[in-house]
Amino acid sequence: MSQESNPIDYAVEGPVAVISLNRPEQANAQNRELLIELDKAWDQAAEDDQVKVIILRANGKHFSAGHDMSNSNAQAQFEQDKAEAGMMKLYMHERKHFLGFSRKWRDIPKPSIAVVQGSCIAAGMMLCWPCDLILAADNAKFRDPVVMMGIGGVEYHGHTWEFGPRKAKEMLFTASTITAEEARELGMVNRVVPLAELDSSAMELALQIAKMPAFGLAMAKRAVNQTLDVMGQYTAIQNVFDIHSLGHGNAVAQCGFPVLVDLEKLKQAGKEPKS
């Protein structure tokens, strides 16, 4: 374990499990420890018969700044692993911790509510997209700038389904920000509320849902998710993950490291990625 406090807080309030991301000083950026503890919290909520609804929220000003890029030791270790195993180690890690976890959380047979404030960047959306409902504070902003890194978007490709194809392309092509109200108009966000009312509004909604029969809720969730899968969502997200991995391979070939590509430094060095 790291010297940080527990990266996840877990509490049960009546019929509601509240899972909180707890790296506020890092804007809830996701390291491996956070994701593993988050998965354990989802499992705990899923297995607790008292829990009928799950809330996913975040401590601090921001929901999540995406993947944690700050650990230089991890980069050095990956360089060694890459030399020994090529792209396979990275591919298998991401398939489990990013694509696999998101898909697993999406299919837990209990209603879930993501509660988003501040910045929700790139992999931050991979935490809220698997939830059934999204409540956003009026200051929430959504963005996926991964194309700037020479990669076609984050590992769990919800963009097309959540925003529609043309808005998804605009967001990815320009690395532009989508506000909470825009996200609501596009259908990704259910409700936008004042920041000061975010947690209370989420709990009010969760308690309203919890009045319904648990089996009925599970079957309603399965009905909608299965309809999306028949329409191709599951297959599309699986296939796009391989496109994402190809982007990593391209970044490795040009820059030596497949996560963070500093375009300005590459330009100065005469190594700007080519299409």
- Amino acid occupying residue 260: L
Query: CA geometry: angle at 76 spanning 73 and 78, to 5°?
Result: 110
CA neighbor of 122 nearest in space, from 253, 7, 191, 27 = 27
Q: Are 240 and 157 in contact (CB under 8 A)?
A: yes
pLDDT value, residue 142: 97
pLDDT value, residue 6: 94
pLDDT value, residue 13: 98
How far, in Å, CA of 161 to CA of 199, rounded?
26
Neighbouring-strand partners of residue 222: none
Place of tokens 């920041």: 195
Q: Are 79 and 257 in contact (CB under 8 A)?
A: yes
Residue ranges in the chain whose pLDDT is less than 50: 1-3, 72, 76, 79-80, 83, 258-267, 269-275
Boundaries of every domain in the chain: 8-268
Strand, coil or helix: 146: helix
What's the predicted TM-score (pTM) here? 0.86
Instruction: Give the CATH number of domain 8-268.
Output: 3.90.226.10
pLDDT value, residue 181: 98
How far, in Å, CA of 120 to CA of 139, rounded?
11
pLDDT value, residue 74: 52
Q: State the chain's maximal CA–CA distance in angstroms.
A: 62
